Structure 1
Amino acid sequence: MPGLFEFWNRKKRRDSTLSSQTMLSCSGTDPSLTRAAFAEFIGTFVLVAIGNGSVAQSQLTNGEKGNYFTINWGWALGCSLGILISAKTSGGHINPAVTMALAVAKEFPWKRLPAYWCAQYLGALAASSTVLGVYYEAIMNGKVNGEFKIQKDSSDPGSAAIFANYPAPYSSASTGLMEEILSTVVFMLVIRVVTDRQSKVPSFLQPLYIGFTLLAIGVSYGSNGGYALNPARDLAPRVVTLFAGWGSHVFSFRGYNWFWIYLLGPHVGAILGIGIFNLFLKSDGTMDDTRSESPCIDLENGYGKELDVIWRLNENRDIEPDMNKLDKENPPRYSVAYASSRPQLGRGLSCPVVTSNR
């Protein structure tokens, strides 16, 4: 039976690769909505806990144990780890803007969006509350005359900037919005490129590429007003500061002219990013002469859309099978069945379940 074991090992490798290619879609394993939402909660919690924690450590030690560079790395690593934790169960969105963009592009079911959004915002809320608890004594040290430093008409948000984004004194709202949209367009483009099935990026590298993209955006477009790219990452911590003593000025900062930028900008940027990908960069689905590591099955015709499927399953590998005469003259050694629980990949394609005919 060595041939069967060899085939089974190849099949497992192909299934593993194919599962990784469905990241940031509905799911890699079609879990229940409850499990998917919990994964989004945990993934977003990790993102915000590490990101805001890196800001707190830098600001509250006056740069002694951190700086802008470590903050960028904190958010990048938090993003990578959050996706890594949640990807196999929920798709690893951990971002309401990403979830909505996928739904608009019909790559994610709208009926799941409310649960994902709730989980993402609650995860960010829990994470920022945790950071507040961990650094509570140090934050209390930053009070001025018994109050937090942020005041009405102040240009300095003080320790509130640990949790949410605030603009530099010279930044205008139009600049902030343009920067947020541009950054999220780039972010979403990279997400769709590295998770596209035709890109064949290994699953273990996908979170790293996405995290490095966040790092690149931070070191290039972070000084004007921060870089949220994620509404949950900004709104939920801002709500925490609202009730934790900073008051309503966390929203009215600059005359209510900034907090909405971190809500609108990421959504617009993510939709534009996935639109650009689908219009100009996405593969048309045709297969080239190279054999894919993750072949799929044409549900409409019942045959391998990619000849490599039958090539690998066929006992005679020296001759490419004639698809028109396959059933009568050159039957495959293994038959293909379809499991409805397997994720659909679009264009009538689904993952094959292979069983032996002998």
Structure 2
Amino acid sequence: MQPEKEPKGKSFKNRLVLKSSLGKEILAEVLGTFIMIVLGCGCLAQAVLSRGLFGGIVTINVGFAMAVVMAIYVAGGISGGHINPAVTFAMCLYGRMKWFKLPFYVGAQFLGAFLGAAALFGIYYDGLMHFTGGKLLIEGENATAHIFATYPAPYLSLMNAFADQVVSTTFLILVVFAIFDSRNLGVPKGLEPIAVGLLVFVLSSSLGLNSGCAMNPARDLSPRLFTALAGWGFKVFTAGNNFWWIPVVGPLVGAAIGGFIYILVIEIHHPGPDPDFKAEPSEDKPEKHELSVVM
């Protein structure tokens, strides 16, 4: 048989294919976070703009959790589906991922969230304009800024708000570590995103009253910045007694605490070899990405 002739030049597909594994992971995180914001905040938009006719607290909590599930299914096999700087920070802090990847993942997550907010704004532009006669309001019964970012309840102090974000993210990371711990009960392969979705649902249902249970700096800060530029104004950063930094710093603190608690109370007591998570992949095997998350 004559050997097949190699095609001349590169095909269009081959020109598009990324050779860098980090590049693939960055794109996955951008797309995953984009999906989470469009579908998750879209549940809020539908409920708010219909004044409760086409949604409410149940559809918001279930819908946002399912948005997280879909995002992890899209990005999980490539980047781990973090879609949350707090998750990425915890993974680096406890040796699950190399530190040099942190700024790339976080940048991708912030970009994906910003693009997601922009896309949702475009989809519901006419609805937003109709809702308040062309006014984009931050406070009051006709407010729409909370579709994109979280805002505190009127009674909430900054100290209580910070504690709220720390505790909720502590639970998020603690349980995420448990879900992907193969020496614990674990979750059947391929169903991990479902377990994470259930976790997000129970957290938003139990700890969402104070300030919306963001637990994700990218999910909150990027859409907030978009609303500031899109017409709501920079008062989005001063509303709620300058609340904006709470969903950024609180989740990072909670991520460190949640990972520490799980490792101290559960993981280090496992009999047998070291945990499956490794900071450094072996030379002859590609780096293994463990799925993770969230909001």
2:220 maps to a residue whose letter is D
Q: 1: distance between equivalents of 2:182 and 2:20?
A: 20
Match of 1:3 in 2: none
2:57 maps to a residue whose letter is Y
Match of 1:264 in 2: 249
Q: Is 1:127 the counterpart of 2:116 in the alignment?
A: yes
Preserved CA contact (<8 Å) 2:136 2:232: yes
Where 1:259 maps in the other structure, the secondary structure is helix
CA displacement at 1:85 relative to structure 2: 1.2
Q: 2: distance between equivalents of 1:64 and 1:157?
A: 15
Runs of 4+ in 1 over 6 A off after TM superposition: none
Preserved CA contact (<8 Å) 1:155 1:169: no
The count of aligned residue pairs is: 263
Q: Is 1:229 the counterpart of 2:215 in the alignment?
A: yes
**C-alpha distance 209-178 of structure 1, shift in aligned 2 (>3 A):** same
**Aligned partner of 2:39 among 44, 50, 56:** 50
CA displacement at 1:75 relative to structure 2: 1.1
In the TM superposition, what whole-angstrom CA distance separates every residue of 1:192-213 from its partner, at most 9, and x where no partner exists?
Answer: 0011121342222211111111
2:285 maps to a residue whose letter is S
**Aligned partner of 1:244 among 221, 230, 247:** 230
Where 1:158 maps in the other structure, the secondary structure is coil
Preserved CA contact (<8 Å) 1:43 1:86: yes
Q: 2: distance between equivalents of 1:287 and 1:169?
A: 51
In the TM superposition, what whole-angstrom CA distance separates every residue of 1:26-48 from its partner, at most 9, and x where no partner exists?
Answer: xxxx9710001111111111111
Match of 2:66 in 1: 77
Q: 1: distance between equivalents of 2:176 and 2:248?
A: 19
Where 2:211 maps in the other structure, the secondary structure is coil
Identity of aligned residues (%): 37
Gaps of 5+ in 1: 1-29, 289-295, 297-337, 346-358
Bigger relative contact order (CA 8 A; separation at least 6): 2
Where 1:108 maps in the other structure, the secondary structure is coil
Match of 2:151 in 1: 166
Instruction: Supply the RMSD in Å over aligned alpha carbons.
Output: 2.1
Q: 2: distance between equivalents of 1:161 and 1:340?
A: 48
Q: 2: distance between equivalents of 1:59 and 1:277?
A: 37
CA displacement at 1:140 relative to structure 2: 0.7
TM-score normalised over the length of structure 2? 0.84
**C-alpha distance 157-274 of structure 1, shift in aligned 2 (>3 A):** farther
In the TM superposition, what whole-angstrom CA distance separates every residue of 1:56-115 from its partner, at most 9, and x where no partner exists?
Answer: 000000000000110001110011111111111111111001101111112210111111
Match of 2:130 in 1: 141
TM-score normalised over the length of structure 1? 0.70
Match of 1:88 in 2: 77
Preserved CA contact (<8 Å) 1:142 1:148: no
1:255 maps to a residue whose letter is N
**C-alpha distance 270-190 of structure 1, shift in aligned 2 (>3 A):** same
Match of 2:203 in 1: 217
**C-alpha distance 192-31 of structure 1, shift in aligned 2 (>3 A):** farther
Q: 2: distance between equivalents of 1:104 and 1:156?
A: 42
**C-alpha distance 344-253 of structure 1, shift in aligned 2 (>3 A):** closer
Gaps of 5+ in 2: 1-18, 277-281, 290-295
**C-alpha distance 111-157 of structure 1, shift in aligned 2 (>3 A):** farther
Q: 1: distance between equivalents of 2:81 and 2:136?
A: 36
Match of 1:348 in 2: none
In the TM superposition, what whole-angstrom CA distance separates every residue of 1:315-341 from its partner, at most 9, and x where no partner exists?
Answer: xxxxxxxxxxxxxxxxxxxxxxx8623
Q: 2: distance between equivalents of 1:48 and 1:287?
A: 40
Match of 1:117 in 2: 106
2:287 maps to a residue whose letter is P
CA displacement at 1:255 relative to structure 2: 3.2
Q: 2: distance between equivalents of 1:175 and 1:130?
A: 33
Q: 2: distance between equivalents of 1:161 and 1:191?
A: 27
Instruction: Indicate the structure (1 or 2) with the bigger Cα radius of gyration.
Output: 1
In the TM superposition, what whole-angstrom CA distance separates every residue of 1:106-143 from its partner, at most 9, and x where no partner exists?
Answer: 22101111110111001101111111000000101133
Q: 1: distance between equivalents of 2:170 and 2:142?
A: 28
Where 1:165 maps in the other structure, the secondary structure is coil
- Mapping of residues 193-204 of structure 1, within 5 Å: 193-199=178-184, 200-204=186-190
**C-alpha distance 112-106 of structure 1, shift in aligned 2 (>3 A):** same
Where 2:240 maps in the other structure, the secondary structure is helix
Q: Is 1:343 the counterpart of 2:287 in the alignment?
A: yes
Preserved CA contact (<8 Å) 1:72 1:219: yes
